[in-house]
Structure formats: C-alpha cells, structure tokens
Structure 1
C-alpha cells in the first residue's frame, strides 16, 4: 500500500478515490458503524484535523466519565418506593448534592403530546427528538437504549438514583413492606442498604420506611467515600 501511495503522490494525484480503486477495499455503510457518521469526517486542512482531534478528545473524556455514583432503589409495586424517593430527594438536595433520577418502565410510554411538532418529528422517523426551553430540556431516544449507556450521558450531578433496574449492575437499596405480603425482592446481603418495617438479618445498613433523613445521611457519606 505504501508503494502505491508513494507512486500516486509523486504523480501529483491527490484523490483518495483513485487510491482506493488500486487497493483491495471492503466498503461498509457509515450507518452500520457504532456512532455512525461520527466516524466519518472529511478533513482537508491542518485546521480541520486539529478541530477533529479536539472534539474527539472531548467525546472520549465523556465516554470515560464514570465517576458519578449510581444507586438503584428496588422494591415491589405498592411498597412506597416512589413516595420514599419523593421525601429523600429534597433531603439530599439540602446536603448540597445535585441529583439525577431515572425510572425503569416495563411498558411502552409516551411523554410527548399528540400533534405537537416534536411528536410529528418522532412519527416521521427521528431516532432522537429534543426539546429545549430556557428552564429545562429533554432528549427522547426513539429506539432501544441500553440503560448503562444511557446513564453515561448524564453529567453535572453528584449522584444518580434509579427506580427499578433490579437486574442492573449498580449497588442497590431495597425497600420492603410487610403489608404487601410479598417476599423481599433481593437478599439483604446483596444490598448496599435495606429500608423496611420488618426485622432484617444480615444487614449492616438498615433503615425504617420513615427514616429518609438517616438514609440521606448514609447516601451523602457514600457519595463522599466514592469520590475520594
């Protein structure tokens, strides 16, 4: 290949197309690549190359950004998981933590409004639809999304909480209520902490369903220790 490239350069032919015609090349559609069009860049000058490498470095840094602690709250329906998190989040915020929370939904859901522009874009086939205002923004992935990859996109917070994702790889806090008549969804020894109105054996970090304040203290220390 180097000999062919040298020969072509010496002849003054700078067209890559002509070089490829002289080589054994396997063509792959850019859409079939991970990150698609990002991996295809037309670079003609040193300035364009420098811009490309700088942007690539920024993207790589974001991809490697894994230092935000993630904790999953796991419980059966009817336990009071959402209510507990509603009480917990303000207490974490009062301790100076910036919080992200992501809920797992086992069913098809829609957050857009029928007939709105963004809804029309989605129905037209957009893979990602975004809405931005002066107060908030949202990105809707209109495709199958890996939870781990999705959570990597979250930045600018101190702690990511998830509601659900029992099978996920993240540390878990289990909620259990005797009145539901259901067993514990996880073994206590598998959990970072347990929140329950029942006596639980083999659990170092146990809180009652009324102890959102103590749970916030525990998570605050957990974040500090994780980031140290």
Structure 2
C-alpha cells in the first residue's frame, strides 16, 4: 500500500510593529481567502510572557505536577499547553490540513513576509533591509520596488498570494442540495 504524504502548506509571515494593523489586515485577508474557498491556518507569535493556561485549572495543575505538556479539547476547539513547538514550521505541522498558513509576527523566523507599514507608527520600512519581504501594505511609497497595497485591499493581496503560491480552492461536490468541499485524507 502506498503511503500518501501531505505537502506542507506555504507559510507567509505578516510583520510590522505593534499597533500598525496586522490583525486587522489578517482578519480581512482570511475572510477574502475563505470566501474564495481556501482553507487558511493562522499562527501567532508573541515575544511577551502570556498566561495561556489559567492558574488552578486542571491542565495548569497537572503541568505543575510534572506533565511535560497538556492538551484540552471541547465542542468549540482544542488548546495545547507545553514547551514552544520550535518555530513557525513546527507549529504549522500541528494544524489540520490547510492551503496556506499566515503567521502574525515571527520576525526572526526565515519566512517570506508581507510587511505592514504605517506612517507615524512604523519607525522604518523592514523591506529596506529584509529581502524576505515580497509585498508591503502601506500608506507611503516603499524604499524598493515591491508590490504595494492599501490596508483595505484584501482582494489584491489575496490575488498576489494565490498567484505566488498557486492556490486554488479544493474541488467542491454537491451533497444534499448544497456544495461541500471534499474531505481530505491525511
């Protein structure tokens, strides 16, 4: 029997300083890509300590007791609490099958990236020194020739991502009068 291996989805970082509009852009971009029938995963990186697991909850108590990691699942989703995965690519492998992974932050990770620059918020353009930046969402002209988009142009940015990564939605089939994406084997 032949083993089918899943190809890793492309990962694109969205980078810029805090308050520049990365999450706002991602919200619109994810909605646009989903509207086109694509499945998008999100990775979020923070350099700040964050109490992901609340003190006194079962998972936190059991981790303090010596568990290396803990995961919890319920009707609305799941969460994993443990040591860092080892970077964006390692964390992306934990996601269900997706067509594209958008990673907010991850500025030290060697990933292709979209820069979000806003006058008065961003101290300087990242793309001036970071050649991994392949597009800029900006309200000012970038310092080198790159595709540049306004903050509200999620459709244009989605077009660029779909072309760059050859993204197409999964074939849909009719099920009980409605269109449904085929289930993926994994």
TM-score between the two structures when normalised by the length of structure 2: 0.78
The alignment status of 1:143 with 2:83, answered yes or no, reads yes
The alignment status of 1:102 with 2:43, answered yes or no, reads yes
Gaps of 5+ in 1: 1-53
| Conserved 8 A contact 2:59-2:72 | yes
**Counterpart selection for 1:116 from 44, 49, 57:** 57
Gaps of 5+ in 2: 169-186
| Conserved 8 A contact 1:194-1:203 | no
| Conserved 8 A contact 1:72-1:162 | yes
| Matched residue, 2:162 | 220
Q: Which has the higher strand share?
A: 2
Following superposition, the deviation at residue 137 of structure 1 comes to: 1.4
In 2, the alpha carbon distance for the partners of 1:111 and 1:122 equals 12
| Conserved 8 A contact 2:17-2:122 | no
Helix, strand or coil at the partner of 1:139: strand
| Conserved 8 A contact 1:118-1:129 | yes
Question: Which protein, 1 or 2, shows the higher relative CO under an 8 Å CA cutoff with sep ≥ 6?
Answer: 2
In 2, the alpha carbon distance for the partners of 1:154 and 1:165 equals 17
Following superposition, the deviation at residue 225 of structure 1 comes to: 5.8
| Conserved 8 A contact 1:66-1:152 | no
Larger Rg: 1
The alignment status of 1:80 with 2:14, answered yes or no, reads no
Tell me the matched-pair count.
167
TM-score between the two structures when normalised by the length of structure 1: 0.65
The alignment status of 1:207 with 2:121, answered yes or no, reads no
Helix, strand or coil at the partner of 2:165: helix
Runs of 4+ with >3 A deviation: none
| Conserved 8 A contact 1:173-1:193 | yes
Following superposition, the deviation at residue 103 of structure 1 comes to: 1.0
User: Residue deviations 1:57-84, cap 9 Å, x none?
Assistant: 97x95xxx55301000010112111111
